[in-house]
Amino acid sequence: MSDTPLAPLQFRSAIAEPRAARWALIGIVVLGLGVLLFAPLIAVFAEALTRGWAAALASLGNRDARAAIKLTLTIAAISVPLNAAFGIAAAWFITKFDFRGKAFLITLIDLPFSVSPVVAGLCIVLMFGANSALGGWLVASGYPVVFALPGIVLATVFVTFPFVARELIPVMVEQGRAEEEAALTLGASGARTFLTVTLPNIRWALLYGVLLCNARAMGEFGAVAVVSGKIRGQTASIPITIEMLYNEYLSVAAFSLAALLAMLGLITLLLKTILELRHADQIAATYHH
Amino acid sequence: MFKTIYISGHITAQGNLVSSHPDGQVTISTGNQRLTGWPVARLLRGALGAFALAALSLTAAPSVQAETLLNVSYDPTRELYREYNEAFSAWWVAQGNAAPTIEVSHGGSGSQARSVIDGLGAQVVTLALASDINKIAAAGKLPENWQALLPHNSSPYTSTIIFLVREGNPKGLKDWGDLVAEGVEVITPNPKTSGGARWNYLAAWAWAEKNGQNPQEFVGRLFKNVPVLDSGARGSTTTFAQRGIGDVLLAWENEAYLALKELGEDRFDIVVPSVSVLAEPPVALVEANIKTDEQRKLAEAYLNHLYSPEAQALAFKHFYRAWDASAASPEDVARFPALELVGIDHFGGWAKAQPEHFGDGGIFDQIYVAK
Amino acid sequence: MGRPLIHRSPMPGLGLSMGITITMLSLVVLLPIGALLWKGASFGLGNIWETVNRPRVWAALYLSFRLSLLAALFNLVFGVVLAWVLARYRFAGRRILDATVDLPFALPTAVAGIALAALYAPNGAFGSLAKELGFTIAYTQWGIFIALIFVGLPFVTRTVQPVVEEIEREVEEVSATLGASRLYTIMRVIMPMLTPAALTGFALALARAVGEYGSVIFIAGNIPLRTEIAPLLIVIQLEEFNYDAASAIGIAMLLISFAMLLAINLIQVWSRRRIGYV
C-alpha cells in the first residue's frame, strides 16, 4: 500500500459490497418482487378500474362497504394493541430470563400460524359456540361471542398472535442484556430501563411487528369467515364483503375494496416513513459511527 | 347519567339516560338519536364499552319498535333476496306494520347451516339443499316435519342444472353422453364442498340410468375429464369464463343466465341436456331463534309472501323456475325450455343419497381411490 | 437435571411479563386449541388414526408439507437478500419495494388467489409465457408452490430486516481492518448474526404455508391425490357436518407442524448457545 491516506470512498467500500454485487442483488429483488408481488397488485387494481375511477369510488361509498370498512378498522384497533402488549411482554420474558422449556414456549406462541385459519375458526366455535358449555352460558346471559364482534376479534388476535413477539425476540437476543444490566446497576427503575434503554433498541422490530400484525388483522378471511355469521352491514368485515361482492358478479366493487385494503397497508407505511424521518438523526448515528 | 343499553341481538349503545320505563327498559340519548333498551349490568359494562361504540356505529339507526329478521341464505340468491327484501318490506308496511329490519347472510349452503347450528340467530333459513336444513332440524332448532309446513316441499322456487359452452359450441356438446368423450374438459365445483355440484353429479347419474349405462362408471368417467375442482359454484364459473379452462361448465340454470348477462352473451352458449335434476332450494322458519310473537308473525309472513304472485315474478326475473307465473313478465317465463326433470326422491331423498354418494368413502370418493 | 425452572436474574418485570404471556397464551391459543384436542379425545385415538391413515389423506398431507417446505426455503433465501437490500442499499423505488412486502398479508387470501390464478392461468400474463415454454403453472403443483411463496414472503424479510438495521457497523469495520474480505465478513460475521431471525422467519413462513387455504384453493385444481391440500380435506369434512373427522385431520396437521416448529426452535436455541452473544 502507498502511504497516501485512505480516501473516504475507499473506507466506505470496506464495509459495503462491490458495486456489481450490489446491483445484481437489487436486480434480483426487483425482479422477484415484480413477479411475485407487483403483478398480483396490478391485477387487482386493473380489475377495480375496468369501469373507471368513478365506478370504483362509488362502490366504496355503498352502505355495506362503509360498514365493512368501519368494522375492519375497529377489529384492527382492538387486536393490534392487544398483540403489541402481549408481544412486548412475551419477548421480555423470553429474552431477559433463563428458564427451562423456552423453545417449547416459543413453539406454543408460533402455533396459531400452523393452524389452518379454518381450523382456528373451528376451535373458537368449539370453545364459544352455542353448543359448548361456556358458549351456551354466554349466549344465555346475552353476550354471544361467536357471530359477534368479540368472536371476530378473538379470531383475529389468534391468527396474528405470534407477529409482534416473533419480531422482537430475535432482535432482543441480538441485543443481549448488558445495556439493561448497566442501567439497572446505575440505579434506574425497571420501567425507566425499559422505556429509555430497551424500547429505543427494539423500536424497528416493534414497528415491523405492528405493521405485519395490522396488515394481517385487516386482511384475515378464513378464520373470520367461520365466526362472523356474514351478516351484511353488521359482522361482514372487508374481506368477507369482498367475497360476497365477488360472488355477486360485482367484480369492480369487490376489487375496489381489495385495492382499498392494499392502500390501507400503504398508510401504515406512510406512518413508518414519518417515524423514520423523525428519527433520521438516530438512524444516521447507527449507520455512520 | 351515562348508561349502556342492550338493544337487540348483540347490539349495545351508550348514552345519557333520558328516562326509565316501568318494565325496566331505559331510554338514552346518544347525541343524535334516542334509543330504548335493557340496561347492561354494571360489571360487564367495562368489557363491553370497547365494543359498544363500534357496534353502534355499525347499525344504521336501528328503529327500536320495528322487528328484525335475519335470513341466512346460500350464495346465488343474493340478487333475488335483495329485491325481495325491499318488496316484502313495502308490502309489510302497507299491511299496517312498522318497517322491519331485514338482514341477510350469504355463504356456502353447508357452512351457513353449520353457523345456524352453532348459534347464528337466524329466524329464517333459505338454503340450497333440504339435507342442510335437516341438519339444523337434527340439532333441535326446528321441527322434523319442517318441509311439510309450506307448499311445494317448502321450495318457493326451483332450478336445474344445464351446460354453459363456449360460443358456437365448438365441441358439439349436446347431452351428458358427450361429456365423457376423450379430450372434453368439464368444469364443475367439488361435490364435497358445493351443494350445486351435488346436483351436477346426480343429473349425470340420472341420465346414465335412463340411457342404459352403468351410472357409477359413467360418473367416474365424467369426473376423470374434470381438470379443476373449485370449492364453489362461483369459482368454477371464473375458471371457465375468465381463465379459459375447459369446454363445458356444469352450472345452476340461474347462475348460467347470470353469468351470461354479466360476462358477455356473445362469448358463451347455453345447452340444455335431455335429462336434468329438479333442484328444490327449501326455506324454513327456525323455531328456536324466534323470540317474540311479533317476530314469528313477521318471519311467517316473510316466508309465505315468497309464494305470492309478486314474489314469484321476482324469482322468474332472477332466472329461477318458480311456480306461479301469473304476475311474471312472459319473457322471463318463456326463457325456460322444457326438459325431463328428476327430483331428489328419485335417489331416495337426501337422507339416503347424501351418505351413499357424497359421504366419507361414498361413491364419489371411490372415483379417486388410489390405484 | 438440577437446573432450576427459572434462573434468578436481576432483571425486573418477571412477574408482569410472565403473567401477561401466560394469560394471553392461555386465553387466545391454548383454550381454543384445547377445545379442538378435547373434541379429538372424545373421538378416540383409534378413530383419529383411521381417519388419517388413508391414501388420500396421506397424499394431501405429503403435498401440503412438501410444498410448504420448498416455498419456505425459497422465502428464506429470497427474504434474507430482500431484507439486506432494503436495509442497506439506497436506490430509487426502495420505499415502494419496502411498502409492498407486507402486501400478501393485507390482501385477503381469496383476492390473492384470484389475482394469482388470473396471472398464471394459461390465458394469463405469465401463464401464457409458461405455456409457450411447454408447461402449465395454474391448477398444478406449481400453482400451489407460487401461492405458498406469496403468502409466506413477508416473514423472513420482516424478521431479518430489523436485525440488519440494528447491526453495529463497527463489527464489520473490525472484520475488514483485520483483513477479511467482504464475502468472508458477510458469511462469517454477518450471517451468524442473522441466523436466529432468519430461522424464525423460516419457521413462520413454513407454518403459515401449511395452514393456508383461501389463496391456494383458487389456483390448485383441487384434484384428489394430485393437487388436493390438507386444509381442503378439513373443509370437506366440515361440509359433511363431520366435526370429529375435521378435528382429527386438524390435530394431525397440528402435531406435524408442532414437531417441525419445535425442531426449528431447538436448532435456534442450540445455535445461539454455540455462537454465543455477539
The domains of chain C, with CATH numbers, are: 45-275 (1.10.3720.10)
Looking at the complex, report in whole angstroms how far the Cα of residue A282 sits from the nearest Cα belonging to chain C.
11
Domain membership flag for residue B285: yes
- What does the alpha-carbon distance between residue B349 and residue A116 come to, in Å, rounded to a whole number? 34
Cross-chain Cβ contact C232/B231 below 8 Å: yes
Residues of A in contact with C13 (CB under 8 A): 92, 96, 190, 194
**How would residue B37 be classed by pLDDT, with cut points 50, 70 and 90?**
low
Same domain, B138 and B179: no
- What does the alpha-carbon distance between residue A187 and residue A17 come to, in Å, rounded to a whole number? 43
Looking at the complex, report in whole angstroms how far the Cα of residue A87 sits from the nearest Cα belonging to chain C.
8
Give CA separation, A242 vs A66, A67, A236, in Å. Answer: 12, 13, 9
pLDDT the model gives residue B40: 52
Domain count, chain B: 3
Mean pLDDT of the A19-37 span: 89
In tens, the pLDDT along B156-168 reads 999 999 999 999 9
Task: Decide: A170 and C277 in contact? Cβ < 8 Å.
Answer: no
In tens, the pLDDT along B318-335 reads 999 999 989 888 888 888
**How would residue B6 be classed by pLDDT, with cut points 50, 70 and 90?**
low
Same domain, B12 and B135: no
Mean pLDDT of the B253-272 span: 86
Same domain, B197 and B226: yes
What are the percentages of helix, strand and coil residues in chain C, rounded to 5? 75, 0, 20
**How would residue B264 be classed by pLDDT, with cut points 50, 70 and 90?**
confident
Q: Domains of chain A: which residue ranges?
A: 1-48, 60-287
**How would residue B307 be classed by pLDDT, with cut points 50, 70 and 90?**
very high
Interface residue of A1, A17, A93 to substitute, partner C, most C CBs within 10 Å:
A93
Domain membership flag for residue B144: yes
pLDDT the model gives residue C13: 85
Q: Considering CB atoms only, which of B9, B76, B105 is closest to A230?
A: B105
Same domain, B259 and B353: yes
Instruction: Indicate the range of A86-90, A101-105, C1-5, C160-164 predicted with least confidence.
Output: C1-5
Residue written as cell 321441527? B143
Same domain, B320 and B302: yes
pLDDT the model gives residue A280: 60
Residues of C in contact with A254 (CB under 8 A): 111
Prediction pTM value: 0.81
Per DSSP, chain C holds a count of helices (H) and strands (E) of: 14, 0
Looking at the complex, report in whole angstroms how far the Cα of residue A254 sits from the nearest Cα belonging to chain B.
14
| Res. A7: pLDDT tops 80 | no
- The complex's ipTM works out to 0.81
In tens, the pLDDT along A39-65 reads 998 988 998 898 888 888 888 888 889
Same domain, B88 and B140: yes
> How many Å from the N-terminal Cα to the C-terminal Cα in chain C?
28
Q: Considering CB atoms only, which of B114, B235, B369 is closest to C241?
A: B114
| Res. B174: pLDDT tops 60 | yes
For A188, other C-beta atoms within 10 Å of its C-beta total: 17
pLDDT the model gives residue B10: 46
Task: Decide: A85 and A160 in contact? Cβ < 8 Å.
Answer: no
| Res. B1: pLDDT tops 60 | no
Same domain, B209 and B180: yes
Interface residue of C43, C103, C177 to substitute, partner A, most A CBs within 10 Å:
C103
The residue in chain C having the minimum alpha-carbon distance to the alpha carbon of residue A30 is: C97
Domain membership flag for residue B17: yes
- What does the alpha-carbon distance between residue B79 and residue C52 come to, in Å, rounded to a whole number? 41
- What does the alpha-carbon distance between residue B110 and residue B331 come to, in Å, rounded to a whole number? 33
Cross-chain Cβ contact C103/A41 below 8 Å: yes
Domain membership flag for residue B63: no
Q: What is the mean pLDDT of each run of 10 residues along chain C (278 residues)?
A: 68 88 92 89 88 88 94 95 91 83 81 89 87 87 93 90 83 82 82 87 89 86 86 85 87 88 83 55
Domain membership flag for residue B233: yes
Cross-chain Cβ contact C217/B230 below 8 Å: yes
Same domain, B183 and B153: no
pLDDT the model gives residue C276: 47
More confident residue, B232 or A271: B232
Report chain A's mean pLDDT, rounded to a whole number. Answer: 84
pLDDT the model gives residue B173: 93
Tell me if chain B has a CB within 8 Å of the CB of C136: no
pLDDT the model gives residue C103: 82
**How would residue A102 be classed by pLDDT, with cut points 50, 70 and 90?**
confident
Cross-chain Cβ contact C56/B368 below 8 Å: yes
pLDDT the model gives residue B17: 65
In tens, the pLDDT along B39-83 reads 554 434 434 444 444 444 444 344 345 788 999 998 778 889 999
More confident residue, B265 or A163: A163
Give CA separation, A128 vs A94, C127, C143, in Å. Answer: 30, 44, 36
Q: Considering CB atoms only, which of C97, C204, C262 is closest to A166?
A: C204
Domain, as residue range, for B349: 161-277+339-367
Q: What is the DSSP letter of C108?
A: -
- What does the alpha-carbon distance between residue A162 and residue C235 come to, in Å, rounded to a whole number? 24
Looking at the complex, report in whole angstroms how far the Cα of residue B253 sits from the nearest Cα belonging to chain C.
23
Judged by DSSP in three states, A130 sits in coil
Domain membership flag for residue B245: yes
Task: Decide: C111 and A255 in contact? Cβ < 8 Å.
Answer: yes
- What does the alpha-carbon distance between residue C49 and residue B294 come to, in Å, rounded to a whole number? 51
* Structure-block grid coordinates of residue C163: 436485525
**How would residue B38 be classed by pLDDT, with cut points 50, 70 and 90?**
low
| Res. A244: pLDDT tops 90 | no
- What does the alpha-carbon distance between residue C147 and residue C214 come to, in Å, rounded to a whole number? 10
Of A117-131, B102-116, B172-186, C128-142, the range with the highest mean pLDDT is B172-186
Residue B88's CATH number: 3.40.190.10
Cross-chain Cβ contact B370/C56 below 8 Å: yes
Cross-chain Cβ contact B119/A234 below 8 Å: no
Q: Considering CB atoms only, which of A26, A181, A287 is closest to C85?
A: A26
Domain membership flag for residue B9: yes
Same domain, B28 and B7: yes
In tens, the pLDDT along B123-144 reads 999 998 898 999 999 999 999 9
Architecture of domain A60-287: Orthogonal Bundle (1.10)
In tens, the pLDDT along A150-187 reads 999 999 999 999 889 988 988 888 788 888 889 988 98
Q: What is the DSSP letter of C179?
A: T
Most distant CA pair in chain B, distance: 79
Give the contacts of C78 (CB within 8 A, at least 6 positions apart).
A28, A32, C153, C156
pLDDT the model gives residue C239: 79
Handedness of CA C198, C204, C210, C212 (dihedral sign): negative
